[in-house]
Amino acid sequence: MQYLLLIYDQESQWGKLSEAEQGKMYQEYGDFTQSITKSGHYIGGNQLHPVAQATTVRVRDGKKLITDGPFAETKEQLGGYYMIEAGNLDDALAIASRIPSARFGSIEVRPVVPRGEKP
Amino acid sequence: MTIEQIYREESGRILATLIRLLGDFELAEEAVQEAFAAALEHWPTEGTPGNPRAWLVSAGRNKAIDLLRRRACFEAKRDELARLSALVEVVAEATEESMVNDDRLRLIFTCCHPALARDVQVPLTLRTLCGLRTEEIARAFLVPLPTMAQRLVRAQQKIRDAGIPYKVPADDELAERLDTVLLVVYLVFNEGYNATSGDVLIRRELSSEAIRLGRLLHVLMPESAEAEALLALMLLHDSRRDARTASGEIVLLEEQDRNLWHRDQIAEGLELTERALARGARGPYALQAAIAALHAEAKRAQDTDWHQIVALYELLLQQQPSPVIELNRAAAVAMADGPQEGLRLLEALAERGELKDYYLLPAARGDMLRRLERWSEAEDAYRDARKLVVNDAERRFLDRRLSEMRQRGGRKVPAR
């Protein structure tokens, strides 16, 4: 089964880290990505630019509406994601709990609807 | 045995087996219902088969194949059908008690998975492992039937779509996950035992199902001293079931007719408690079982070792600070050191306001004041309790106390 792991944390906290601390964080993420690649779970994943760089688009009555910022203001922001392959939810949760941001943010684990199937 | 009895006894087991064989909760549930429908059709004329469970599992498997065939996209299901057809030989083996118990153990971990909300873990366990019908569960939890049905359907969909596995968790997670399972079993038991309302027969069934699940956990996870302690606790509480009410009124522990206590359950409960404690169980179930054991061992109420019970409540409080446990400790202190001491603790507890809606606080206060023969104050306290009580059996008890207090209070007025 495929799962999308959505990484939420407080962007403002990231800015408060020193350069050395940020470097350590990137190192941890690098190690984690490498480890789930080796174990065959990794499908894809990326860090996202902050929500300040987000743009939201809606189409209503054929008209495109474009606004600055994210769809909804929340306490924690989506900061990155992984797409993984895992045998079941327990395996997916075990992997999600190893994401460095899980220690201060939260990881939403969403099962992916397989192509050709309906939810 | 009637088909209805077999449904009661076996449907949870047949479902657990079919879920493993089919790997699909909803399909298995449908197959169980169809298998029983087939039994209703065939058994009255052809006679009940020698091994009803194997018959029903076979029938369920065949029904599942039919159901899959009827569904769209036959191509995609071909592998699945081939796999199911190959299951013909395993049915006999699959319905042996030990296999069925393993299935049930796996399934209880699925039903109590932390990815499912607590308010569905208990109903799902009852529906899946205990074979209770959705109507019965809805009635037991005072939830409208469509609400409960929807909750159960959503949980089953989540199990399927999110890939919640059918397995006993890995060692590194087992302890934590077992805690949830034990809690769910304990909640099922309490739902039946502490009758807050509702149907007496269903409540009785909830308690005995919880004990059955407790036995299953104890047998299949003998290394868990907490599981042993939970079984002990349930047996010891349940042993008092026939003495707890009399003519629709709740009877306090000290006033119960101890001849009505079930001695066989007490003997088993005491042995399990002792073993669990000897193995180092010190969790909430072990401590509560130890308290229940001290009550069970007292031949008469006045023989109860209240000092030890107070000490056990102290330990329990260290583990899980809770105003309700504080209230219990205060009641035990009142028995060990006199009502004056108990009242002092209760007053401190009442000031904090956490239990302001809990009828047992004023009821306990009333009881201590009654022991001190402060009749009119006791009457006031019982009246406060009466305003908060929701259960009829408990209300009747308070009514009796209230009229006693009024009489006693009256007697204190000097005669002419």
Q: Is the pLDDT of residue B221 over 60?
A: yes
Q: Is the pLDDT of residue B175 over 90?
A: no
pLDDT in tens, A34-52: 999 999 999 999 999 999 9
Do the chains contact at A111 and B164, CB–CB below 8 Å? no
Residue B1: which pLDDT band, with cuts at 50, 70 and 90? Answer: confident
Instruction: Compute the mean pLDDT over every residue in chain B, rounded to the nearest whole number.
Output: 89
Do the chains contact at A90 and B161, CB–CB below 8 Å? no
CB pairs under 8 A between A and B: 28
Nearest residue, CB atoms, B165 vs list A89, A111, A113 = A89
Structure-block tokens of residue B314 = 């102290």
Determine the pLDDT at residue B415.
Answer: 40
Q: With helix as H, strand as E and coil as C, how does chain B read? A: CCHHHHHHHHHHHHHHHHHHHHCCHHHHHHHHHHHHHHHHHHHHHHCCCCCHHHHHHHHHHHHHHHHHHHCCCHHHHHHHHHHHHHHHHHHHHHCCHHHHHHHHHHHHHHHCCCCCCHHHHHHHHHHHHCCCCHHHHHHHCCCCHHHHHHHHHHHHHHHHHCCCCCCCCCHHHHHHHHHHHHHHHHHHHHHHHCCCCCCHHHHHHHHHHHHHHHHHHHHHCCCCHHHHHHHHHHHHHHCCCCCCEECCEECCHHHCCHHHCCHHHHHHHHHHHHHHHHCCCCCHHHHHHHHHHHHHHCCCHHHCCHHHHHHHHHHHHHHCCCHHHHHHHHHHHHHHHCHHHHHHHHHHHHHHCCCCCCCHHHHHHHHHHHHCCCHHHHHHHHHHHHHHCCCHHHHHHHHHHHHHHHHHHHHCCCCC
Of the residues A3, A89, A108, the best mutation for testing chain B's interface (the one with the most B CB atoms within 10 Å of its CB) is: A89
**Is B106 an interface residue toward A (CB < 8 Å)?**
no
Do the chains contact at A89 and B115, CB–CB below 8 Å? yes
Nearest residue of B to residue A110 by CA position?
Answer: B162
Q: Is the pLDDT of residue B4 over 90?
A: no
Taking CB atoms and an 8 Å cutoff, what residues of chain A touch B161? 111, 113, 119
Tokens 């997670």 correspond to what residue? Answer: B173
Selected residues 47-66 of chain B with any CB under 8 Å from a CB in chain A = none
Closest chain B C-alpha to A38 CA, distance in angstroms: 21
Closest chain A C-alpha to B166 CA, distance in angstroms: 9
Do the chains contact at A89 and B169, CB–CB below 8 Å? no
What global pTM score does this model have? 0.83
User: What ipTM goes with this model?
Assistant: 0.86
**Is B72 an interface residue toward A (CB < 8 Å)?**
no
Do the chains contact at A88 and B115, CB–CB below 8 Å? no
Taking CB atoms and an 8 Å cutoff, what residues of chain A touch B115? 89, 93
Taking CB atoms and an 8 Å cutoff, what residues of chain B touch A112? none
Taking CB atoms and an 8 Å cutoff, what residues of chain A touch B113? 89
Work out the angle at residue B406's Cα, subtended by the Cα atoms of residues B405 and B408, and round it to the nearest 5 degrees. 60
Q: How many angstroms separate the CA atoms of B241 and B208, rounded? A: 11
Nearest residue, CB atoms, B161 vs list A86, A92, A119 = A119
Closest chain B C-alpha to A111 CA, distance in angstroms: 5
Which is higher by pLDDT, B46 or A118?
Answer: B46
Q: Is the pLDDT of residue B78 over 50?
A: yes
pLDDT in tens, A52-106: 999 999 999 999 999 998 888 888 999 999 999 999 999 999 999 999 999 999 9
Nearest residue of A to residue B158 by CA position?
Answer: A111
Least Cα distance to B29 among B187, B180, B203, B149 occurs for B149
Number of other CB atoms surrounding residue B145 within 10 Å: 12
Taking CB atoms and an 8 Å cutoff, what residues of chain A touch B163? 1, 3, 86-89, 92, 111
Least Cα distance to B240 among B301, B181, B183, B285 occurs for B301
Nearest residue, CB atoms, B165 vs list A88, A109, A111 = A88
Do the chains contact at B169 and A90, CB–CB below 8 Å? yes
Domains by residue range for chain A, with CATH: 2-111 (3.30.70.1060)
Of the residues A90, A95, A107, A109, the best mutation for testing chain B's interface (the one with the most B CB atoms within 10 Å of its CB) is: A90
Work out the angle at residue A54's Cα, subtended by the Cα atoms of residues A50 and A56, and round it to the nearest 5 degrees. 155
Taking CB atoms and an 8 Å cutoff, what residues of chain A touch B173? 90
Do the chains contact at A86 and B161, CB–CB below 8 Å? no
pLDDT in tens, B323-381: 999 999 999 999 999 999 999 999 999 999 899 889 999 999 999 999 999 999 999 99
Average confidence (pLDDT) over B378-407? 92
Taking CB atoms and an 8 Å cutoff, what residues of chain A touch B164? 88-90
Lowest mean pLDDT among A44-53, B190-199, B284-293: B190-199
Nearest residue of B to residue A4 by CA position?
Answer: B162
**Is B113 an interface residue toward A (CB < 8 Å)?**
yes
- 3-class secondary structure, A63: strand
